[in-house]
Amino acid sequence: MQKSPQRSIELDFFRGLVLLVIVVDHVGGSILSRFTLHSYAFNDAAEVFVFLGGYAAATAYLSLSVRHGTFAAIGRFARRGFEIYRAFLVTAGLMLAISCVLHACGVTAPNVADDDVKSLVEAPLQTLTEILLLERQPYLASVLPMYVGFALLVPLAVPLARRKPWLLACASVAVWAGAALASDWLPTTDDGSWDFNPFAWQLMFALGILARCQPLYRTIKAHRIGRHASLAAAFVVATLACAKLAGFGSDADFAVKSDLGWLRVANFVALAWLAADLVHAGWIAKAARKLTWVNAIGRDGLVCFVAGTAISLIVDSLLYRVTDGLLHVPFGLIADVVAIAALVAVVRVRTAYRSRVSPVRVAPS
C-alpha cells in the first residue's frame, strides 16, 4: 500500500483560518470582523479562499497523477465538480430552510433569504429548477457554482501551469479583463446576478495553481531583489490600508467584488507575498503546530464551508434580533465565540465519526 503524501500544514492552517474569518465576517454584529482583512484592505477573505482553492487543487492533482496516473486524476476532479455542485444544492437548501424557520419564529434580519423563500412558496417548481440550473443562488451559496467550473478545468490548467505558465497567466488575465462583458453568458434569473463572476475570479484560482506549480517566490527570494520585493509588498499593503481606513475608493469600479477589481488583485498579491515570507520564515508552521484545531477545519474545507454558511446565517439573524441591528460589544463577542465554537464542534464530530468508521485515516485529496 502506497503511503499518502504528507499534507502541507501551512496550507491547512491558512484554509482553516480563512474559513473562520468567513464565518465571522458574515455575522453583521461581529466584533472580531472589525479586525479582519476586509477592514484594512481592498480585498477580503474571498480572494484568499479562492487562491488557496487553486493551490490545493494543483497539489491534489499532481499527487494523484504521480500515484495513480493522469486519467485517475482527471476522473477525481470530474467527481470533485459533482461534489461541489452537490454542496451548492445542500447550501442552498440550508439557506432556504433556515430562512423559513427564522421567518416562522418571527425573526427578521437583512440576510434572511426572504425573496428566495417567497419565490419558493409562489412557484416551487420554477424556483427549484432555477437553483438546479445555477440561475438562483441563495445567500452564501453563491461562491460554490464557480468552483464547479474551476474543478473541471483543473486537469487542463495544471499541466499548462507546469509546461507553459506564461500562456496560462496571459489567458487568465485576458479572460479576467473581459469578465464584465462575459457575465452576460451566465445563467441567471431576470432579477438576479452572480455575486462572484467566475470569468473574473478564475484569475485568483489560476494564481493559486501557478504558485503551486512554479517556484516564482523561491526564485525571486533567492535573488538579491528578494528583500526589495518584500519591502515593496509591505509598502503597498501599508499604503492601501491607510487608503482603506481613510475611505478612499470604497465604491469605485476598481474595487468592485463581483468582477474582481484590479485594486483588489493588487492588494491581494502584496499580502500573499508577505504571507509567503511568513511561511518561509517558519512562523506559520509554528502557529499551525500549536493551533491544530484550525488545521482540522482547513483539512475538511468543503464541509466546513457548508456548515459555516448555516452557522453564520443563524448567528447573524439571532444577533440582529437581540440587538435591533445595533453594534453591541458584549453580544457581538458572544456571537463570535458561538460561531467559532460551532464550527469547531462540526469538525470534532466529523473526526469522531471518521475514526469510528475507518480507524486508519487516509488524507483526503
Predicted confidence band of residue 364 (pLDDT cuts 50, 70, 90) = very low
pTM value > 0.75: yes
Question: pLDDT at residue 351 above 90?
Answer: no
Predicted confidence band of residue 253 (pLDDT cuts 50, 70, 90) = low
And the C-alpha cell for 135? 440561475
**What is the model's pLDDT at position 358?**
66
267-290: pLDDT as tens digits: 999 999 999 999 999 999 999 999
The residue ranges of every structural domain in the chain are 9-214+224-357
149-207: pLDDT as tens digits: 999 999 999 999 999 999 999 999 999 999 999 998 999 987 778 999 999 999 999 99
Cα–Cα distance list, 116 to 26, 55, 152, 186, 208 (Å)? 19, 34, 28, 19, 33
Count how many Cα atoms sit within 13 Å of the Cα of residue 365 in the half-sphere of its side chain. Answer: 21
Q: Which amino acid is at 361?
A: R
Residue pair 13/47 in contact (Cβ under 8 Å)? The answer is: no
Question: pLDDT at residue 343 above 90?
Answer: yes
Average pLDDT, integer, range 256-261 = 91
